[in-house]
């Protein structure tokens, strides 16, 4: 039986009840799409993910990759290649491809709903198929020749990587030492070593285009001196795409990892034995800004992957709790003859399941709400939306991305271990159940594409301070209006409104430290010690808002069909508000009392 259970019912509720995505279908650039068609796509993806894709999930972990050190080539398990082929043959990679290249013109909200199921079922399939998304970057930012390359990437199903990290320069991308030297024919020769490169090689496509950050000779240090180059595994004919000789980019090692074992994480060498020929993207030296087009997509993917895994963990835990018979009902414990019951009857198991449900459904709503902002951006660009309004939407999307990635990955990984796996007791620690693999596979989500600490710093310094509070002000105003709207959930909304005020005070305190740091630089430490705390608190408030909105909708439907589903929605929201939002007052107190003294402690005292 498949390890994966898609929660399509909740996906549909989020898309069409909570976010009213039906209102954008049949209009503007999505004029050829309706709800029935969208749901047909989602139903097909559900079938695909629960069967064809999930079938190789365990093999991918147990067999992993096989690396040939002599050739630098990587072989994947046959079962995984079969699953990948099913995904590609269904044309699902084309959800990331511009219509001009033969892609599907669908809203980002539908695209990320599809991605949730793929990432929850067998995440490495989605990761290996990144060439389709990278083709869009080459098409939008590239020269006319590079637009042809984008077409080859789609039609020939080529792979792609993003190469940033170097052995001596991890998150400090600007410290990278890879060098680019321009040649008389206009190409570039790149030399250097890159590390932790996802999908560096695989035997599921004939060519791979590496998107590589390197510093051209004579360019200044730091991130602003970096340029982005396209380096193919095989040189190709730029008119026909026919492959020629091997290029000088090779895998030199494959990381032996804690999880996500079928995803090849590689050390790559550029230009050691023969030139690594590359092409400057767009023929402009704007590497870090260009690479961020890929990084933003990758961060959305990572958060979605984490949240999808939590949903899968919860669905497995729920099923187990309903069938595992152990112990008497708590109220009958003194009666030795009382019948044994399913563990879902036990209070702490119920607590655990409701925690999982609230976070999984709340964070699913977070992903799809963020995607709905991306819907509005896509439609706004197509329809010539006022520039200020478009800028507001883009700022809001930027604000939400570190919440999706940082908060989503951190909460998901912690809950998978402390709640989902815990539901199984000792059985969860065995390979008989998928939870131990979920935990191992999900840990990477808190680490790559920027650790949680980096997401917190980005959230505060770039998305709040540099943005001058525009985006956080827009969403806070909308949440405050909801908190004050009364109705059936008035008491819960009031508690939510109080937590929102606490978060506002936390932001004000940290902004105050940012201002005072101009006179006293050490005040920056007070911020750095608390940006992750702020990110988690904002995430909880946004989740509470989305859960309460769902509960308000469910309140009007609880007496009709699917009443248990809607009752679950109401209960999850109320539970989250009463059990998690009160912690935010303590977080505010901690931030306001921060002295920064930890930074004065001698290293020997640790």
User: Which pLDDT band, with edges at 50, 70 and 90, does 553 fall under?
Assistant: very high
Task: Based on the fold, state whether residues 188 and 132 are members of the same structural domain.
Answer: no
Task: Based on the fold, state whether residues 476 and 590 are members of the same structural domain.
Answer: yes
pLDDT at 173: 82
pLDDT at 249: 97
- The yes-or-no verdict on residue 1 having pLDDT over 80 is no
Task: Based on the fold, state whether residues 91 and 199 are members of the same structural domain.
Answer: no
Mean pLDDT of the chain: 96
- The yes-or-no verdict on residue 258 having pLDDT over 90 is yes
417's CB contacts (< 8 A; 6+ apart) are 439
Domain-located, residue 352: no
How many structural domains compose the chain? Answer: 3
Task: Based on the fold, state whether residues 91 and 218 are members of the same structural domain.
Answer: no
Task: Based on the fold, state whether residues 589 and 483 are members of the same structural domain.
Answer: yes
Domain that holds residue 210: 159-285
Quote the DSSP letter at residue 281.
G
pLDDT in tens, 341-392: 999 999 999 999 999 999 999 999 999 999 999 999 999 999 999 999 999 9
User: Is 157 a residue of the active site?
Assistant: no
Mean pLDDT across the stretch 532-559? 97
Do residues 470 and 398 lie in contact, with contact meaning Cβ atoms separated by under 8 Å? no
Task: Based on the fold, state whether residues 163 and 254 are members of the same structural domain.
Answer: yes
pLDDT at 170: 73
Task: Based on the fold, state whether residues 524 and 484 are members of the same structural domain.
Answer: yes
Joined together, the tokens standing for residue 123 give: 């995440």
* Domain final residue, candidates 237, 262, 285: 285
- The yes-or-no verdict on residue 335 having pLDDT over 90 is no
* CATH number of the domain bearing residue 39: 1.10.540.10
Mean pLDDT across the stretch 75-104? 96
Mean pLDDT across the stretch 17-35? 97
User: Which pLDDT band, with edges at 50, 70 and 90, does 409 fall under?
Assistant: very high
Q: What percent helix, strand, coil does the chain show, rounded to 5?
A: 60, 10, 25
pLDDT at 586: 98
* Domain final residue, candidates 136, 171, 205: 136
* Domain final residue, candidates 253, 285, 317: 285
Residues of 592-606 as b/e, b for ≥16 C-beta within 10 angstroms? eebebeeeeeeeeee
Q: What percentage of the chain has pLDDT greater than the value 70?
A: 100
Task: Based on the fold, state whether residues 200 and 279 are members of the same structural domain.
Answer: yes
Closest by Cα among 332, 306, 251, 218 to 67: 251
Q: Which one from 419, 436, 449, 552 is the annotated catalytic residue?
A: 449
- The yes-or-no verdict on residue 72 having pLDDT over 80 is yes
| Cα separation, 574 vs 355, whole angstroms | 11
- The yes-or-no verdict on residue 201 having pLDDT over 90 is yes
Query: What pTM, to 2 d.p., does this model score?
Result: 0.97
* CATH number of the domain bearing residue 183: 2.40.110.20
| Cα separation, 100 vs 466, whole angstroms | 35
The continuous run of DSSP H or E covering 490 comes out as helix 490-516
pLDDT in tens, 27-52: 999 999 999 999 999 999 999 999 99
Mean pLDDT across the stretch 409-416? 98
Do residues 574 and 534 lie in contact, with contact meaning Cβ atoms separated by under 8 Å? no
User: Which pLDDT band, with edges at 50, 70 and 90, does 527 fall under?
Assistant: very high
| Cα separation, 383 vs 377, whole angstroms | 10
Task: Based on the fold, state whether residues 221 and 86 are members of the same structural domain.
Answer: no
The continuous run of DSSP H or E covering 253 comes out as strand 249-254
- The yes-or-no verdict on residue 70 having pLDDT over 80 is yes
pLDDT in tens, 432-441: 999 999 999 9
pLDDT at 176: 86
Task: Based on the fold, state whether residues 600 and 514 are members of the same structural domain.
Answer: yes
User: Which pLDDT band, with edges at 50, 70 and 90, does 174 fall under?
Assistant: confident
Task: Based on the fold, state whether residues 458 and 605 are members of the same structural domain.
Answer: yes
């Amino acid at each position: 039986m498949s390890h994966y259970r898609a929660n399509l019912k909740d996906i549909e509720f989020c898309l069409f009840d909570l976010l009213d995505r039906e209102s954008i279908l049949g209009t503007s650039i999505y004029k050829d799409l309706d709800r029935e068609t969208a749901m047909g796509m989602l139903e097909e993806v559900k079938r695909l993910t629960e069967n064809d894709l999930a079938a190789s999930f365990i093999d991918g972990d147990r067999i992993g990759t096989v690396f040939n050190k002599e050739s630098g080539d990587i072989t994947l398990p046959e079962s995984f290649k079969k699953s990948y082929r099913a995904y590609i043959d269904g044309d699902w990679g084309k959800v990331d491809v511009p219509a001009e290249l033969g892609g599907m013109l669908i809203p980002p909200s539908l695209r990320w709903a599809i991605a949730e199921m793929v990432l929850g079922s067998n995440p490495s399939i989605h990761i290996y198929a990144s060439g389709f998304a990278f083709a869009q970057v080459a098409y939008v930012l590239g020269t006319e020749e590079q637009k042809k390359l984008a077409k080859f990437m789609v039609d020939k199903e080529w792979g792609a990587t993003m190469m940033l990290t170097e052995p001596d320069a991890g998150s400090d991308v600007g410290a990278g030492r890879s060098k680019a030297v321009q040649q008389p024919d206009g190409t570039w020769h790149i030399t250097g070593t890159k590390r932790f490169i996802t999908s560096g090689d695989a035997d599921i496509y004939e060519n791979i285009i590496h998107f590589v950050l390197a510093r051209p000779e004579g360019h200044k240090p730091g991130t602003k001196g970096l340029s982005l180059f396209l380096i193919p595994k095989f040189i190709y004919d730029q008119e026909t795409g026919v492959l020629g000789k091997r290029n000088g980019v090779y895998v030199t090692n494959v990381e032996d990892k804690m999880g996500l074992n079928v995803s090849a994480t590689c050390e790559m060498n550029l230009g050691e034995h023969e030139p690594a020929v590359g092409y400057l993207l767009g023929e402009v030296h704007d590497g870090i800004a260009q690479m961020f087009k890929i990084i933003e997509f990758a961060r959305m993917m990572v958060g979605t992957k984490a949240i999808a895994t939590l949903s899968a963990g919860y669905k497995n835990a729920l099923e187990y709790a309903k069938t595992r018979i152990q112990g008497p009902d708590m109220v009958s414990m003194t009666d030795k003859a009382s019948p044994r019951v399913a563990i879902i009857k036990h209070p702490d198991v119920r607590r655990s399941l409701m925690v999982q449900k609230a976070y999984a459904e709340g964070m699913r709503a977070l992903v799809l709400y963020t995607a709905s902002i991306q819907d509005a951006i896509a439609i706004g660009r197509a329809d010539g939306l006022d520039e200020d309004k478009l800028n507001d939407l883009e700022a809001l999307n930027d604000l939400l991305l570190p919440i999706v990635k940082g908060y989503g990955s951190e909460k998901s990984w912690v809950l998978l271990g402390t709640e989902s796996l815990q539901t199984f007791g000792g059985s969860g620690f065995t390979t008989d159940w998928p939870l131990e693999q979920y935990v191992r596979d999900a840990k990477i989500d808190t680490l790559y594409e920027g650790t949680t600490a980096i997401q917190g710093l980005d959230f505060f310094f770039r998305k709040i301070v540099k943005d001058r509070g525009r985006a956080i002000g827009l969403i806070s105003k909308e949440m405050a209006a909801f908190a004050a709207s009364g109705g059936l959930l008035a008491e819960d909304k009031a508690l939510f409104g109080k937590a929102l005020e606490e978060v506002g005070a936390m932001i004000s305190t940290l902004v105050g430290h940012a201002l005072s740091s101009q006179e006293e630089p050490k005040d920056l430490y007070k911020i750095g010690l608390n940006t992750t705390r702020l990110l988690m608190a904002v995430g909880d408030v946004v989740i509470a808002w989305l859960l309460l909105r769902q509960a308000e909708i469910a309140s009007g439907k609880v007496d009709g069909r699917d009443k248990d589903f809607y009752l679950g929605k109401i209960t999850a929201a109320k539970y989250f508000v009463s059990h998690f939002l009160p912690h935010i007052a303590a977080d505010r107190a901690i931030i306001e009392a921060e002295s920064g003294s930890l930074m004065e402690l001698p290293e020997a005292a640790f």
